Structure 1
C-alpha cells in the first residue's frame, strides 16, 4: 500500500476544498436567475462501455461535444486541438499533422519512432488504434469525445495506464438528416465537411455517409532558396460509411468502413531558433520564414483504410456484443531534420551553427491490425456486470532512410524493422448497489502479450558496417484491476473513490541508423488512487466535478531521445510519481449564457537515484548534475517531459435572439504552464507557457437550420516552442500562428 506523506495529504485536502469553493463560485450567479431558467442537458458517456450519466461514473473524465468541439476544430485543426482543452491533457507532435503524442497527468512518450508505444490509448468507434500513425486520423462528424484520466486497464486493457481518449462518430438512424459545412481562412485554409443519413429500408436498415476535405496553402518562405510560400501546406480528405442493420428488436449490426489520405508538409524544424542561455526565441525570429537546403525534398504522405463490425444481441436482459476491427495504414515522411543549410565544415551554413547536416525519412510500407472484443453485459437486481475477452494482432514493417544533403540528397543510409504483436485478455467488471445511496464496484483483467521483433541496418550514413539482424521476443502478462465506490450524498451529488492498476506491455526501440543495438523496456505498471465528487447544482443549472489523485509507476518506460549520439534508447526508471487535482465546471446562469471551465494541477517526479541519460549535443545549458558515467547527467527528481504543472481552459457562449434565430458569440481559451521538453533539464529546452484563444461570431437560424460565422484561432498570435531536436543544435518547432476565417453551415 502506498502511503501519502503529510504534505500530499494537506495538498489533497486543500485542493478538494478549493474545488468545492470554485464550483460554488462558478454557479453562484444562478442564484439570482429566475426559476424558469433553462437547465443543463444530461451528459451521457460510455466510459464503462454502457450508456450512463457522467455523474454516475466513478472516475475522472471530461466529455466534449457541440459548440466547443466545433469551435476548436475551426481552421482545419488536427487532433492536437484537444491539447489543454481538457484538464491534465497535452498533445504534441514532432511528425506534423499525424502521429500525435498524448500525455495525461504527465504520462506519455516522447519517442518519434513509428513503432513507439504510448500509455494513452485511442479508441475510435469502439476499435483501439494502437499504432501512433493511426491516432492521427481526423475528427469529423463526431458525436462526442471522452477523455478518461487514470488507468483504464480493466475495460480497455493494456497500454492504458495514463488513460484513454475515446471518439464516437454520429451513428445512422431511421431519421433522415445531415449537415454541410464550409470555411475559408488565413493561408488559404479550407475546410469542407458534411454528412447525410437516414432510413434505407424502413425500421430495418439505415445508413450514414460522412466526408471531410481540408487544405492549407504553403505559407512559409524559404530564405535560403529564395522561394516564397515554400512549405507548411497540406491536402487531406477522409470518408466514412456506416450501415445499421436491425431486423429485430433483439439484434442489430453496425458496419463501418473508412478511408483517410494526407499529402502535406512534415513538422517544420527551425535551426537555432532558441537564444542560448534562455528559453526565448532569437532576435528577429519570424514564424513565416525558414532557411533550409533540404526543404524542397520534404513531404509527408499518409493513407489509412479500415473497417469494423459491431453486433449486439439482446437475450432479454444480458446483451452480447462483438466488435471486430481491421486497420491498415501506410506512411512516408521526409524532412530536413537539422532545420538549416550547409554545415560548419561545408560553408555557407546556418542559421547559426550547423555541426553536420541531417536529412532523413521514415516510412511504414506495410501495416495490418486486427482486433476482436466479445463481451456480455447485463443487470440482475442490484448487480450490473460486464465480462468479456479481447484479441489483438498487429504486423508492421518500418523503413528508415538517411540522405546526404551536401550531395544533392542522395540516399546514404537504410535500416528496417519488422514487428508482430499478439495480445489477448480476459476481463470482468461489476457494480453492486449496496443501498439506494451506496454503490461498490470493481473489475479484473488478465492480459498476455508477446512480440516478435527484428531489425537491421544495411547502410550506415557514417560509414559503419552493416549490423547483424537484431532480434527481440519480449513476453509478459499482468493482472490489472480497479476497485471503486460511489455514495449519493443527495439526488444530485455523488462522492466517489477509485483505486486502479494499469499496465503497459514491453516496448522495443529498434532505430539502427546511428546505433548498433536495439533496446527493450520492461513492462510498466502503475497504481493510482483517486477521490472526488460530481454534482448538479441549483436545479441543474450548473454542473461541477473535481478530484484529487496520486499515482506511482514502477519500471516506468522512458525514451532517451537524441543526445550527442543522435540515438534513441528505451530505459526503465525504477519509479515515477505524480499527484494533483482536476476540476470541470459548466453553468448557464441566465438564458442564452453558458460558461465552462477546467483546471488541473500535476506534479510529476522521476524517482531513481541511479538513472542517467546523455544530455544534448547542441550546446544547451544543462542544469542536472553529472552522472556516474562520462558524458551523462543524473535525472533523478526531474519532472516528466511535456508535463505542465498547470492546465486551465474556459469557454463562454452568449446568444441574442433576433427574428426567428439568434446572434451568438463563442470564445474559448486554453493555457498550459511551462514544460520540460526532454528527460534532462536545460535552460534552452524549456517550453514557456502557452495561451491560445479562439473566437466565433455569427448568426444561427431557428433550430440550427443554418448559421454563418467569422472565427479566429490563436487570436493573440502567441507563438511558443512546442518541442525541440536536441542532437545537433538549438533546433525547435512551434505552434501555429493566428488564423482568421469565415464559416457557413446548414443542417437538414
Structure 2
C-alpha cells in the first residue's frame, strides 16, 4: 500500500473528464487524514471539485447544498446577521450565538471554523469541497454529529500560472476574481488569490409615511421616490496568500493567511403576518401594527429608528408614563474575518509521517435590523460580536505493513468571544395587557476550550477487506458572565434584573447554588454578574467494515457516534431563565454501496442510515415555567428521536461529452419521547420526564426547524466539440428542497404560524452556456440562475410564539443573469 492510503484503489478513470462532471472523474479526498480515492472511502461523501462548482454556477458554500443529499445550508434572516443555518441528516443549528454550538463541523484547510457567523464562505480559489455526512466524532471531532464540511483551497506547486475572471450581471452585478502562483526561490513558492463582488439588492425598502402621507405616520426620508434602501445587496472583497516550502516528499511546510471584508444592507425580508394591538408598539398614536404594513413580494417598510415616548401600562399601573428611550438601527450587516495558519508535514521514516496544523482566526461582526419591517416599534436588536480562536492539531500517520495502518493525534482549541447586544422590545404583555418595556445592553464574554486525543486503526486481513476502528476523547468547557444594563451601560436594568437593580451587580442571596451542569437554585441572585457555564467529557467511536468485491463495487457498514456540546442560556430575560442544557448525542448505523459500472461510465453511490438521537437541543420561544410571561429564547434538552434515511448520488457519462448528475435523499424523523416541560408547564407534583404520550410527543415538529424530508437534484451538460473553433457546453441543473417547519413545535391548525410560519418547498432551475477556445485558455459563460423566476423563501422568522405578533420571510433571489469571461495562464 502507498503511504497516502490509496491501496485497493479502483482503476484509473477511463472515461474522459469534462468540467469535473464525468462519471469516471478521479476525485481524491482526505476525509480519513490520508489521500484516498472518493470511491475507496467508506463514508457518505459528496466531493465537488472546482470545475464542477464553476459548471453549476455555485459561488458560495450554501449553493452546494442544492446538489448534496440530506444537506441544508441556508443564509439566515436579518435578525441572525451574516450567518447560515446548517444541518446534515437532521443534525445542526440555526443560532449564531456563541453560547450554543453548531452541529455541523466546518473546516477551512483543516482548520475548524467555530461559528455560523461568516460561514457562508465565498468559493474564491477552491480546489474542492468535501461534505461528509453522518457523525464524524472520531475524525473531525466536536460538534460534527451531523457531519462535516471541508473547504480545501488550491496550493502553490512551484510552477507559474493562474487565472483572472470578470463577471457582469443583473442589478449592476460586478465580480472580479483571480489567482496567480509562482516560484520565489529554490523550493519556495507562493499562490495569491483575491475576489471582489458587488450587486444591488432585490428587496426594496420604502418609507411608509412618505408613500402614505395621509396615514398620520411621519416620513423619515426626504427622498422623492420614498425609497430607503435595497436589501440583499452584495459588497465584499477577500484575499488569500499561501507560501509553501516543499523541497521533497519528506518536507512540506505551508503558511496561509486570508482576509474577508463584507459590508452590505441586511438580507432581503418581507412581512408575511402582522397583528399586535399593544399600544406601546404602535407606528403612531392610534395606528396599530397590522396587515397594512405588508408591502409586497419584494419590498418592506423598514425604518432606521424607534422613537422615544411614555410607556402605556396595563398590568402594572405604576409604570404608566415610564420613559421609553429612542434607539437607532442602521439595517446593515458587517463582517470582517481573517486567519493565519501554519501547516507542516514531515516524513519521520519510510513508514510514518507527522502533520501539524496551528491556526489563529478572528472575526468582528456587527448587525442591526428592524425586525417588524415597519414604522411600528416591535423589536430593534443590535449585535456586536467579536471572536478570537486558536487551535493546534498534531497527528502521526503510520503504515506498519500492508495489513496494518494507523493515525493518532491530539487537538486543542481556545475561543474567546465578546458579544454586546442592544435590546429594544416593547411588546411584552400577558393576556393582551402590557407589562413593561425591555430596553437594555446585554451580552458578555464567552470562553470555550476543547482538548481531544484521537486515533484510527486500519486493518486489512484480506485483499479487498478493510476494518476501520476509531476513537476520540474530548474534554470541553464553556463559561460566561452575564450583563443586563440600562442604555447608560452602568446601572442594572430593573425589568430583567430586579435583584441587581435593588442590591447591586453580582449580588448573591443566602445559600445560593452556582449555576452549572447540576442545575440551579431558586434562591435569588442578580442576573448582572451571574456566571454560568458547561463542562463535560465525551468518548466517541467508529467501527467500519468495507469490502471491495471488484474494481467496480465497494460495500461498507459503519456504526459511529457524535455529539454537540452543551451550554447555558444564551439570551436570558431574567435570572430564572439562566438554565443549563446538556450535550445532545447521536449513535448512527449506516450501510452503503459505492459502484463504478459499465466501464466507469455510471457511478452510483447509495447509503442508508438509522440514527438514535438523545437529548435533542431545541429552543423555547415561551417558557412561563422559568420566570413568568415575556420573551424566551432558551435551549433545552427536548427529548429523544429515531431518524431513518436513504441517500443516492449518481453520475453518468453514457456517451462522449454528455454528463448527467443526480442526487436523492429522504429523511424520516420520529420522536421517541419528549420532555414535558418543553411542551407545556408541569402540573403540581408532575416530574419533567421524557414522555412518550402522543399528546406530548405530537406537539414537537418532526422533523424540527431547519430540516426537510425530501431533497433531489438532477443536472446535465453536453460538451459540443467544434474543432478549431473550440467547444460549447450547455448545462441545466434542477434542485428540489422539501418544506421545513417554521418552529420547533407544531402550530395550531389555521393559526398564523401554520399559514405563514413554515418554509415552503421549492424547485430551483439554473442554466449555463460555456464557450472555450481550443486551447481552453479563454472561457466565456452565460449563466441564468432561478431560470423560471420561482418565488420562494429560504428562511422564515416566526415571533408569534414570543408575543411579537409577526412573521417575516426571506425570499430567495429572483431570476438573474451573469456573463463571465475567464483567462487562464
TM-score (normalizing by structure 1) = 0.85
Contact 1:453 1:473 in 2 (8 A): yes
Per-residue deviation at 1:508?
Answer: 2.8
**Could you tell me which of 581, 598, 611 is aligned with 1:521?**
581
**Could you tell me which of 598, 602, 616 is aligned with 1:556?**
616
CA-to-aligned-CA distance 1:341-367 (integer Å, 9 cap, x gap): 22xxxxxxxxxxxxx521111111x32
Where structure 2 has 5 or more consecutive residues not aligned to the other structure, the ranges are 1-14, 16-21, 211-225, 277-290, 306-328, 428-436, 488-492, 502-526, 624-628, 681-690, 748-753
State the partner residue of 2:707. 643
State the partner residue of 2:259. 259
1:565 paired with 2:630, answer yes
State the partner residue of 1:89. 71
State the partner residue of 1:456. 483
Contact 1:109 1:559 in 2 (8 A): no
Q: Write the mapping of 1:668-747 to structure 2, written as runs, cut at 5 A.
A: 668-682=733-747, 683-684=754-755, 685-721=757-793, 722-726=795-799, 727=802, 728=804, 729-747=806-824
Per-residue deviation at 1:584?
Answer: 0.7
CA-to-aligned-CA distance 1:567-621 (integer Å, 9 cap, x gap): 2101102312210100011111111110110100011133324445479xxxxxx
**Could you tell me which of 699, 707, 726 is aligned with 1:661?**
726
Contact 1:304 1:329 in 2 (8 A): yes
Q: In structure 2, what is the Cα distance between the partners aligned to 1:585 and 1:462?
A: 60
CA-to-aligned-CA distance 1:262-307 (integer Å, 9 cap, x gap): 101223342235999xxxx999974331122238721111111110
C-alpha spacing 1:285/1:698, structure 2 compared with 1 (3 Å):
farther
**Could you tell me which of 140, 143, 149 is aligned with 1:159?**
143
**Could you tell me which of 398, 402, 407 is aligned with 1:378?**
398
**Could you tell me which of 152, 155, 179 is aligned with 1:171?**
155
Contact 1:596 1:650 in 2 (8 A): yes
State the partner residue of 2:343. 310
C-alpha spacing 1:361/1:228, structure 2 compared with 1 (3 Å):
closer
CA-to-aligned-CA distance 1:464-498 (integer Å, 9 cap, x gap): 44533221131100110000001112122001000
Pick the structure with more strand per residue.
1
Per-residue deviation at 1:249?
Answer: 3.7
Q: In structure 1, what is the Cα distance between the partners aligned to 2:575 and 2:658?
A: 58
Q: Which 4+ stretches in 1 moved above 4 angstroms?
A: 71-74, 273-276, 281-285, 403-406, 460-466, 513-516, 561-564, 612-615
Cα RMSD after superposing both structures: 2.8
Per-residue deviation at 1:196?
Answer: 0.4
Contact 1:116 1:131 in 2 (8 A): no
Contact 1:335 1:361 in 2 (8 A): yes
Of 267-276 and 445-454, deviating more is: 267-276
**Could you tell me which of 531, 540, 544 is aligned with 1:484?**
544
Q: In structure 1, what is the Cα distance between the partners aligned to 2:776 and 2:494?
A: 61
Secondary structure of 1:639's counterpart equals coil
Q: In structure 2, what is the Cα distance between the partners aligned to 1:338 and 1:562?
A: 19
Contact 1:413 1:513 in 2 (8 A): no
Q: Write the mapping of 1:195-274 to structure 2, written as runs, cut at 5 A.
A: 195-202=179-186, 204-223=187-206, 224=208, 225=210, 226-227=226-227, 230-272=230-272
Contact 1:79 1:100 in 2 (8 A): no
Of 179-188 and 507-516, deviating more is: 507-516
1:47 paired with 2:80, answer no
Per-residue deviation at 1:561?
Answer: 4.4
Per-residue deviation at 1:710?
Answer: 1.2
Q: Write the mapping of 1:300-379 to structure 2, written as runs, cut at 5 A.
A: 300-315=333-348, 316-342=350-376, 356-364=377-385, 366-379=386-399
Q: Write the mapping of 1:374-413 to structure 2, written as runs, cut at 5 A.
A: 374-381=394-401, 382-403=403-424, 412-413=439-440
Per-residue deviation at 1:374?
Answer: 0.4
CA-to-aligned-CA distance 1:113-151 (integer Å, 9 cap, x gap): 354311101011010001222423322111101110111
**Could you tell me which of 669, 680, 683 is aligned with 1:604?**
669
TM-score (normalizing by structure 2) = 0.77
State the partner residue of 1:33. none
Secondary structure of 1:688's counterpart equals coil
Per-residue deviation at 1:222?
Answer: 2.3
Contact 1:455 1:510 in 2 (8 A): no
1:595 paired with 2:656, answer no
Where structure 1 has 5 or more consecutive residues not aligned to the other structure, the ranges are 1-29, 31-37, 343-355, 616-626
Contact 2:713 2:736 in 1 (8 A): yes
How many residue pairs match? The answer is 675
C-alpha spacing 1:374/1:589, structure 2 compared with 1 (3 Å):
same
**Could you tell me which of 627, 638, 645 is aligned with 1:580?**
645
Q: In structure 1, what is the Cα distance between the partners aligned to 2:368 and 2:545?
A: 51
Q: In structure 2, what is the Cα distance between the partners aligned to 1:611 and 1:181?
A: 57
Q: In structure 2, what is the Cα distance between the partners aligned to 1:612 and 1:179?
A: 58
1:293 paired with 2:303, answer yes
Per-residue deviation at 1:326?
Answer: 0.6
C-alpha spacing 1:185/1:462, structure 2 compared with 1 (3 Å):
farther
Q: In structure 2, what is the Cα distance between the partners aligned to 1:440 and 1:149?
A: 20
CA-to-aligned-CA distance 1:76-133 (integer Å, 9 cap, x gap): x542212332000001222477311111011122324354311101011010001222
State the partner residue of 1:540. 600
Secondary structure of 2:614's counterpart equals strand
Contact 1:442 1:483 in 2 (8 A): yes
CA-to-aligned-CA distance 1:430-463 (integer Å, 9 cap, x gap): 1111110211111011110111221121128895
Q: In structure 1, what is the Cα distance between the partners aligned to 2:584 and 2:632?
A: 22
Greater Cα radius of gyration, structure 1 or 2: 2
Q: In structure 1, what is the Cα distance between the partners aligned to 2:138 and 2:425?
A: 49
CA-to-aligned-CA distance 1:13-45 (integer Å, 9 cap, x gap): xxxxxxxxxxxxxxxxx9xxxxxxx87221211
Of 450-459 and 464-473, deviating more is: 464-473
Q: Write the mapping of 1:17-96 to structure 2, written as runs, cut at 5 A.
A: 40-73=24-57, 77-92=59-74, 93-95=76-78
C-alpha spacing 1:97/1:537, structure 2 compared with 1 (3 Å):
farther
Contact 1:114 1:132 in 2 (8 A): no
Secondary structure of 1:70's counterpart equals helix
